[in-house]
Structures are given as structure tokens and as C-alpha cells.
A and B are shown apart, each in its own frame.
Chain A
Amino acid sequence: MILDAIDVTLAERLLAAALGSGGDYADLYFEHRAGADFVLEDGRVRTVGRGVTLGLGVRVLRGDATGYAYTEELAEDRMLEAARTAAQIASSGAAPGPISIQPVALADRYPVSEPTDARAGVDKIALLRRADAAARAFDPRIVRVEASLAEEQREMLVVTSDGHLARDSQPMIRFGVSAVAEEGEGASRQRQVGRSGGAGRFGLEFFARPGQSPEEQGREAARLAIGMLHAVEAPAGPMEVVLGPGESGILLHEAVGHGLEADFARKRTSNYADRIGQPVASSLCTVVDDGTVDNARGSINVDDEGNPGRRNVLIENGVLVGYMQDRLSSKHFGIAPSGNGRRQSFRHEPLPRMTNTFLAPGEDDPEEIIKSVTRGVYAKRFAGGQVNISNGDFVFALTESYLIEDGKLTAPLKGTNLIGNGPEVLRNVTMLGSDFELSQGTWTCGKDGQSVPVGIGTPTMKIKQITVGGTKTR
């Protein structure tokens, strides 16, 4: 790989410069990222894109304080300048002793059988055409289709002043289809959009997975658009809600995931701070963050600080057992890093971040869960959410949901939001299905201006009461 050219003696010189003002610790993060994207719009490949970024980020820690600098020019004088800039966080102290650098052994969580760069662009465009044709064939009311494919290969090399050296090569493929449906004329015309897509650390074998063929993605986007044409106003107010398997993991991500990132616990700015060993959810709930799921979007062989990706139980049978740690927070708490130190790119300092975060399955039959509701909402697909870390309020948007009346799904509902408070909502989980799914969707998590790819998952779950943000009073 391209970063093979970085040799150990150069890394040692850069780390020595980074620690030259007395920092406790330093690391180097070299990154090479190459991506391409193809977009088919109204049956035409309008443009194709390609780009490469290459750079080095240098971090120096002094206590809980961080110095950070980066450069896109990998000439030694530029890299030394970045190291000295990052060093300004410290202002006194002894020069470091010699550093002995050893490679870290890593598992391969994302084997790829058909690398994207081994196939010609026209083959990828053919995938877009298949999705486009399937969406249009689904229903004559589909008037517009857009399909896109993006591929990326991220190569990274982390070298730390502890002497760890870790390399990784992280593939990512992303496919998306959006379809617009129209019905009626003039003022009574109804228009809706449906979106479907998937992503993971795969090559082109991704499209052979269940539900991921271009035809299935095209039909799913069309189905959502058509299904929403006759959606009715969603109710407003607290209700019983059943969340479908997979994408409902967005609830976990917002309601507890962010609150269990250790920087918030360290600074006591989250309402899950100082709560280890305490019940924070219904005893049905076991919440796991797992960076080791094969080929999943949030999986990492190694985090961006050189620690191997791991499976970490965060909440066990309702009791908080651990936080997601980066190096800085794990030092603060005096425990081992959990493999959650991630960054958007070489331009960003690492933060504790989620990988694939999910709720473990329960024992209830998913159909029985729906049947148990007299009047409520069934939520199946989601657009995204947000949480206020301090007070725990979170919100997430529903893009496909139905009214439940007497145990049956009835009218499709217009897009709306669910709003709740993390600890309260997790105490209100009263049934948990046996049908766990990890969502195959393109989920991207934002924090402090940094975006990283993540995975989410849940079984079907019932929440006794949560506020539905519709427009209709009951």
C-alpha cells in the first residue's frame, strides 16, 4: 500500500519532535483515501467523480489536554513542522527516551472477494441501470429515479510513542436509490419520494447479499414512494410504539449510545456519568457496541489510535457496565482502551465513538408484539436522529410508519418524529423480539463536527409510552 513508504526511523524522528516540548504521549496518523462515485439521474450517467486525499495528523497529549496539527505535504520538513505545532500544548519537560516500535497484530474483519478497483467503471454503471429499471417497472406512477454508487478505500497507519504501529486498509461501498412518485393532476397532485440503500465494508460481492441486489434496492425505493402517496396525518402525543427490527437501532444510538461515550462521562456532561453498576434501562435491555462484525459499516480492525476493534457490552440486563473509551478517557478512568477512538480523517483528533451499536434480541414473537397493541404506531424505517447529551432528550425521524389498531397495521403515516428522554424510554421497553437485525443502511454519525460510518441494530421492540410528534390530535 501507498503508506508502506513511511519508515520506522522517520516515524521515530517525528515522534521525538512531537514530544520535544514535554508532552506525555504523541501519535502519528497517516491516511490515504481514494474514492469514486457514479450517479445515474433520469436514466443518464450525468457525471463521474474521483478523488484522493493524503495527509498526516500529529497529536500530542499532556494530561487531559490535546495539541493537534496536520499536513497534506508529506515532505519531512512539513511533517516536522506539524509535529512541532502539535507540541505547543506542552511547554516544559524532559526530552523523550528512545522509542521501540512494534507492529500490532490485527484480525481481518472485512475480507473482500471482488475489490471495486478490479472492475471497470462500465460494470458499476450497469448496476445503476438495473436499479433504475427495477424502480420504474415497479409502478407507472414512478416519474423519476436517481441511483448512485460510491466506493472508497482508506489506508491508514498509526504510530504511537508507546511503540505501537498499526496498519489497516478499510473498504467501503455505498449504494442508494431514490424514486419520486406522482399521482393526480393540478392542485390535487400528490408527490412522494422513497429512498433505499445499503453500505458496508465490501467489494462488489455486496450486491449478492440478501436485499442488496440493485433490483431489490430499486423496488424498495419505489415501494416506499408509492406507499406514502396515501399516507395520513400522524397522531400527536404519547402513545404505545412498536419499533421494527434493524433500523430502529437509531433509537439506541441516540437514546443511550452517545451518552455512553466516555468523554461525556469523564467531563460529567452526560446524564449517564457516574452511573456504572446502576440500572439505566429495563432489565430486558442488553446494549452492545461491536466493532468486530464481519464487513459491517461500523466495523474496524483497529481504531484510529492503534487499538484493535472489540466487542464491548455497555448495558447488561438493564445495568450500566461500561463506556466506550478512547485513549484519553481510558487513561483518566485507569482502564484499558475499548477500541472506540475514531476520527473522520487525518485532519481530526480522535474521540470516543460508536462502531456497530445494537440491542441484543429478546424472546418475544414479533407478531405477538404488534398484536398486543390496541392503538399505537409501528415504525419501520427512519431518517436520522439527534440527542442532547446533557439532559438526555433525543428525537428521531420516521420515514415509514403505520397506525396500529386492534393489533393490526392499518394506515401509513406521514413522516414524523418520536421524541423522548433516553433513560426514561429505555425503562419503558416492555417487549423485545427474537428477530434481531443489523441494519444494512448507510448510517453516518456526527459528533463535534466529525462524521464516521456506524452500524445500528435492534430486534422488534415495544415501548410502553413515547411522544409521537404528528399533527393530529386524538
Chain B
Amino acid sequence: MSAARVEPTGRRLPDPKTCQRLAEQMLALTLKAGADGAEVLVRDGTELEVKVRLGETELIKEAGSRALGLRLLKDARSAVTYTSDFTPAAMERFARESVELAGLSEPDPAGELPAREEMARELPDLDLWDESVLSLDVAEGLRRARAGEAAAMKLDKRITNSDGAVFGRSVGASAFATSAGFSGSARGTHVSFAVEPICDDADGKKRNGVYWSASRFASGLGDPEAIGLEAARRTLAKLGARKIPTGAAPVVFSPEAGRGLVGQLAGVLSGGALWRRSTYLAGREGTAVASSLCELVDDPLIRRGPGSRAYDGEGLPSRTNVLVSEGILRTFLCDVYAARKLGRRSTGSATRAIGGGPHVGVSNLILRAGRTPAAELERLDRGLYVTDLMGFGFNAVTGDYSQGAGGFWIERGERAFPVTEITVSASFDDLWKRVDAIGDDLDTRSSVQCPTFRVTEMMIAGS
């Protein structure tokens, strides 16, 4: 792709080589301004979002943005700064002021840059760029949104309203350059599509449901009508939702709901939380923290993966980390800082945003699929199938968990009626140890992925 290619609106496409040149320029300016070492991240991206509601265009949003984040070290003191002003004079002033700022912090040997030999050498091609995404323009986005919403509205006359259909496209490039001996760049595309119909329920309440699709490739986005129909079916299934009595019961989590629980594990399996004594899993390596069915991996190397990356936020090579296997906690994820605080080695798990320094993060965090057909998990005499979770109810330090939930009550293996306005609670330790079945239906749409899974018992608070 040449940097000179121009989109219809006249904006240049994000270009990795341009990003890398800017990152290297800023690195040189920062070292010249007196820093002992520095890391520079440059991101350039365009976004397109179009929304249709009740057949009419509601929003067309299109723009590009580029920014730079710097972390530098001087006498083992560090500063983290960011800017979006790339004029030469501003870049030079930014470098100088950033070096001065480091004088305010205190020397911290753990904060030094990684060792040169830790840096990534060969970068894998993870197939994250799809040229054909570029042809999905405003007109095509609107066409898909209209078609998806119309399919949903047409399915059943009880669908009386809509929160619309949204098509989104992002195209991004980034580069990372560090005086520790790495300079690299990457690019990627991403498209998404969602439909959200609304029904009026008998009690005067409204019921909404949503279905969505997302992919790095245009071909992975699916048919808009099919997505609209699935959204409509999910919305209609909620008609007549009610509370259930308070009590303990088995709980099945759909892949969409379960994703929220798996995502919480990212925080408590972080080396950053471990050295801060802020995870209930502290001291538990080598012991059972989940049922023997559970295998949890963080894998940045999946081709076309939503969270895939060729190198980590400090320029270390990406690698697959097994966090839990056969229910045993194998390791915590570490960036270089957490590793030094804990006397370990980095697991290549640094993430980095423009506005902050590196910290421990996940790429594609996956609870591996099991062998049981997902539908079989609902073969319960009585139990709860959870499709939606809401609110904040997880204490990482103690593992106490409680969230608002919605879904279906199961009786004699069937979804008997929809459920709303209840909470599900358990300690996280109990919850994961009580997983007695894992489905074969891994949901790969987002970077935190899981299949349907079942917990033998949780407390449900309702009526």
C-alpha cells in the first residue's frame, strides 16, 4: 500500500512506515534532549460509523486521528507524556519538556527499559489487514444497516421499535521504537455490525435485545439480514420476563455473558496485581483455582485474531501463555516492571496506550472450548441460563462476585420463561471450581473469548 493512496474524503490512509519514521524521529529527539533511554508509540487510525434507525440515516461519522506517546528515563527516573502535534518545532519542545518532567519522579530501578536481548527480532505475519475492508464505504455501511434493521422489524409485529443498526469500520497503523533496540510497525483492519430491536411488553415495559458481528476481514462480517433476524429472535424471547425466587441453583453462562467473567480473570492473573497484593489468587500458583475442565490461555499469535499483535507494548516478542490448565494456576502475566518486582521474567504481556506507560494486559484471552455440545449444558432439571450481565460487582482482592443478570429459567431441560431483575453471586474461587461442563461453541468475535459453560451452584437473589 502506498502512503499516497487517498480515500474519497481526501484523508491519507494510516501508514505503518510513516508511523515508524515519526516514532524514530521522536526517539532521536528525546535522546538528544538528554534522556538515557526512551520508548515511543505512534498510532494513526481512521474510523467510520454509520447508524440507521427506523429506516432513516441517524449518524454518519468519519474521521482520522494520529497521536504519539512517550516514556523516557533519565537517571532511573521516568516520565510518560503524549501529544498529537507533529510539527518539527513542537516535537522538539515536547521532547525537551518531557525530559524535564522526569526530574519530578524518583529513581526506580524496576522501571528501566528491558534488556536488549529480550527484544523481538522476527515479527510474525498475523494476517490482520484486509484490503477489501477499505471498499466498505458510507454507502455500503448504510445499505447493510438498512437491510439488517428491516429484516429484524419484519420478523414479527410485536417488534414495535428499534435502537437502530450500526456499521463500524476502523483502519489503523502503529509503530513502536525504543532505545532498548527495537523498532517495528503494524497495521490492521476491523469491521463490526450490530442490530438492536425493541418490543413492547404486556406490563408497559420495553424489551431490547442485540446481536452483533465483528471481524478483521470484510468476509467475516456475515449477512446483515441474518444478524438482524437473530437480534429480533433474541428480543422476542425476552417478552414476559420476570423475577424468580431467591435461592441457589445451577447457572449456565452463554458465551456473551461468560465473556464478562473470563475478562475479570485478566485482572486477577496480572503480575501487576500480584506485586500490589491486589488479587485473590496471590500465592496460588501450582494449585487448583478452577475445575479440571478449565484451560485458560492468552494468545496474541492467532491469525486474524481480534486481539492479536506481533510484539508486545515494550517491543518483546509475542508468545502464547497458558495461565490455567487442568484447573491449575500455571503463571501470572508479567510486563518487564512486574517481572522485576516479582523476580521473574516478562511473559511478553505488556500493553501500551498513547496516554500511559506499559502495563500488564491480555491479547486474546480464551477459555478453551470443551467437547460437550452447548445445547446439552441446558439439560438440567432446574437452573438458570444467563444471557446478560450488568453492573460492577467484582472485588479482585477478595474474589467476591455479584452482578445483575437476565436470561431464562430452565425446567426439565427446556427454557421455560425469560428472567430479569435478579443477581447471581458466588466467590470467584467457588465459581470456577464448580464449572462442571464446558461447551464446544467458542465465540471468537472479540478478544476475550469463551464457550457456553455451566456452574453447579450460585446464589440467585430475586423475589
Contacting pair A45 B106 (CB below 8 A): yes
Contacting pair A395 B206 (CB below 8 A): no
How long is the Cα–Cα vector from A182 to B397 in the complex, in angstroms?
A: 11
Give every chain A residue within 8 A of B463 (Cβ-Cβ): 237-238, 467
Contacting pair A393 B390 (CB below 8 A): yes
Contacting pair B63 A47 (CB below 8 A): no
Residue A473 interfacial (CB < 8 Å): yes
Contacting pair A72 B65 (CB below 8 A): yes
Chain B interface category by residue count: 35 or more
Contacting pair A237 B462 (CB below 8 A): yes
| Contacting residues of chain A (383-416) with chain B, CB-CB under 8 angstroms | 383-386, 388-397, 414-416
How long is the Cα–Cα vector from A77 to B334 in the complex, in angstroms?
A: 45
Give every chain A residue within 8 A of B58 (Cβ-Cβ): 64-66
Task: Using CB atoms, name the residue of chain A closest to B82.
Answer: A51
Stretch at the interface among A109-117, A265-273, A435-443: A265-273
Residue B371 interfacial (CB < 8 Å): no
Residue B66 interfacial (CB < 8 Å): yes
How long is the Cα–Cα vector from A200 to B257 in the complex, in angstroms?
A: 35
Q: Which of B71, B278, B426 has the most CB of A within 10 A?
A: B278
| Contacting residues of chain B (2-42) with chain A, CB-CB under 8 angstroms | 9-11
Task: Using CB atoms, name the residue of chain B closest to A238.
Answer: B463
| Contacting residues of chain B (244-284) with chain A, CB-CB under 8 angstroms | 246-248, 276-278, 280, 282
A47-B111, A267-B53, A268-B161 as given contacts; A471 in contact with B425, CB under 8 Å: yes
Residue A212 interfacial (CB < 8 Å): no
Residue B461 interfacial (CB < 8 Å): yes
Give every chain B residue within 8 A of A269 (Cβ-Cβ): 161, 163, 198, 206, 208
Contacting pair A390 B80 (CB below 8 A): no
Q: Which of A47, A55, A65, A71 has the most CB of B within 10 A?
A: A47
Stretch at the interface among A81-89, A95-103, A305-313: A81-89
Contacting pair A415 B461 (CB below 8 A): no
Contacting pair B459 A470 (CB below 8 A): yes
How long is the Cα–Cα vector from A214 to B72 in the complex, in angstroms?
A: 29
Task: Using CB atoms, name the residue of chain A closest to B102.
Answer: A48
| Contacting residues of chain B (30-66) with chain A, CB-CB under 8 angstroms | 53, 56-66
Binary contact readout A19-61 vs B (1 if CB under 8 angstroms, 0 otherwise): 0000000000000000000100000111111111111000000
Residue A122 interfacial (CB < 8 Å): yes
Contacting pair B84 A55 (CB below 8 A): yes
B194 vs chain A, min Cβ distance (A): 12
Q: Which of B104, B248, B406 contacts A38 (CB 8 A)?
A: B104
B391 vs chain A, min Cβ distance (A): 4
Residue A419 interfacial (CB < 8 Å): yes
Interface of A is mostly: strand
Residue A468 interfacial (CB < 8 Å): yes
Q: Which of B9, B85, B402, B406 contacts A415 (CB 8 A)?
A: B402
Q: Which of B60, B206, B402 contacts A66 (CB 8 A)?
A: B60
Contacting pair A191 B277 (CB below 8 A): yes
A410 vs chain B, min Cβ distance (A): 19
Residue A160 interfacial (CB < 8 Å): no
Contacting pair A395 B80 (CB below 8 A): no
How long is the Cα–Cα vector from A386 to B405 in the complex, in angstroms?
A: 12
Contacting pair A347 B65 (CB below 8 A): yes
Give every chain A residue within 8 A of B98 (Cβ-Cβ): 50
Residue A379 interfacial (CB < 8 Å): no
Give every chain B residue within 8 A of A122 (Cβ-Cβ): 104
Give every chain B residue within 8 A of A192 (Cβ-Cβ): 397-398
A417-B393, A417-B403, A471-B459 as given contacts; A392 in contact with B205, CB under 8 Å: yes
Q: Which of B106, B205, B404 contacts A419 (CB 8 A)?
A: B404
Residue B356 interfacial (CB < 8 Å): yes
Contacting pair B104 A125 (CB below 8 A): yes
Task: Using CB atoms, name the residue of chain B closest to A187.
Answer: B283
Residue B395 interfacial (CB < 8 Å): yes
B142 vs chain A, min Cβ distance (A): 11
Task: Using CB atoms, name the residue of chain B closest to A225.
Answer: B397
Contacting pair A236 B425 (CB below 8 A): yes
Q: Which of B80, B390, B424 contacts A47 (CB 8 A)?
A: B80
Task: Using CB atoms, name the residue of chain B closest to A36.
Answer: B101
Give every chain B residue within 8 A of A417 (Cβ-Cβ): 391, 393, 402-404, 423, 425
Give every chain B residue within 8 A of A146 (Cβ-Cβ): 276
How long is the Cα–Cα vector from A46 to B340 in the complex, in angstroms?
A: 14
Task: Using CB atoms, name the residue of chain A closest to B354.
Answer: A51
Binary contact readout B141-175 vs A (1 if CB under 8 angstroms, 0 otherwise): 00000000000000000000101000000000000
Residue B138 interfacial (CB < 8 Å): yes
Contacting pair A397 B65 (CB below 8 A): no
How long is the Cα–Cα vector from A420 to B111 in the complex, in angstroms?
A: 46
Q: Which of A64, A393, A473 contacts B404 (CB 8 A)?
A: A393
Contacting pair B423 A419 (CB below 8 A): yes
Binary contact readout A187-205 vs B (1 if CB under 8 angstroms, 0 otherwise): 0000111000000000000
Contacting pair B101 A52 (CB below 8 A): no
Residue A320 interfacial (CB < 8 Å): no
How long is the Cα–Cα vector from A180 to B395 in the complex, in angstroms?
A: 12
Contacting pair A471 B63 (CB below 8 A): no
Contacting pair A72 B67 (CB below 8 A): yes
Contacting pair B163 A267 (CB below 8 A): yes
Contacting pair A48 B402 (CB below 8 A): no
B273 vs chain A, min Cβ distance (A): 11
Q: Which of A384, A388, A472 has the most CB of B within 10 A?
A: A388
Residue B289 interfacial (CB < 8 Å): no
Residue B420 interfacial (CB < 8 Å): yes
Contacting pair B397 A193 (CB below 8 A): yes
Give every chain A residue within 8 A of B395 (Cβ-Cβ): 193, 414-415
Contacting pair B57 A469 (CB below 8 A): no
Residue A144 interfacial (CB < 8 Å): yes
| Contacting residues of chain A (62-86) with chain B, CB-CB under 8 angstroms | 63-72, 81-82, 84-85
Task: Using CB atoms, name the residue of chain B closest to A60.
Answer: B60
Contacting pair A49 B79 (CB below 8 A): yes
Contacting pair B59 A473 (CB below 8 A): no
B145 vs chain A, min Cβ distance (A): 13
A180-B397, A388-B390 as given contacts; A471 in contact with B84, CB under 8 Å: no
| Contacting residues of chain B (391-449) with chain A, CB-CB under 8 angstroms | 391-393, 395, 397-398, 400, 402-404, 406, 420-427
How long is the Cα–Cα vector from A419 to B244 in the complex, in angstroms?
A: 13
Task: Using CB atoms, name the residue of chain A closest to B279.
Answer: A191
Contacting pair B62 A46 (CB below 8 A): no
Residue B307 interfacial (CB < 8 Å): no
Q: Which of B53, B207, B392 contacts A383 (CB 8 A)?
A: B392
Give every chain A residue within 8 A of B460 (Cβ-Cβ): 236
Residue B333 interfacial (CB < 8 Å): no
Task: Using CB atoms, name the residue of chain B closest to A229.
Answer: B398
How long is the Cα–Cα vector from A72 to B83 in the complex, in angstroms?
A: 10
B5 vs chain A, min Cβ distance (A): 16
Contacting pair A236 B421 (CB below 8 A): no
Contacting pair A72 B66 (CB below 8 A): yes
Contacting pair A467 B462 (CB below 8 A): yes
- What are 25 contact pairs spanning A and B, CB under 8 A? A45-B104, A48-B78, A48-B101, A50-B101, A52-B85, A64-B58, A65-B58, A66-B61, A68-B59, A69-B9, A70-B65, A84-B9, A143-B277, A236-B423, A237-B246, A268-B161, A269-B198, A269-B206, A383-B392, A384-B391, A385-B392, A390-B198, A391-B420, A414-B398, A470-B459
Q: A51-B83, A421-B421, A467-B423 are in contact. List 10 more A-B contacts (CB 8 A).
A: A47-B80, A50-B97, A53-B67, A55-B65, A64-B56, A65-B56, A66-B59, A237-B463, A386-B392, A419-B421
A residues with a Cβ closer than 8 A to B are 38, 44-55, 63-72, 81-82, 84-85, 88-89, 121-122, 125, 143-144, 146, 180, 182, 191-193, 234, 236-238, 267-271, 347, 349, 383-386, 388-397, 414-417, 419-421, 467-473
Closest 4 A-B residue pairs measured CB to CB?
A469-B423, A395-B404, A395-B391, A237-B246
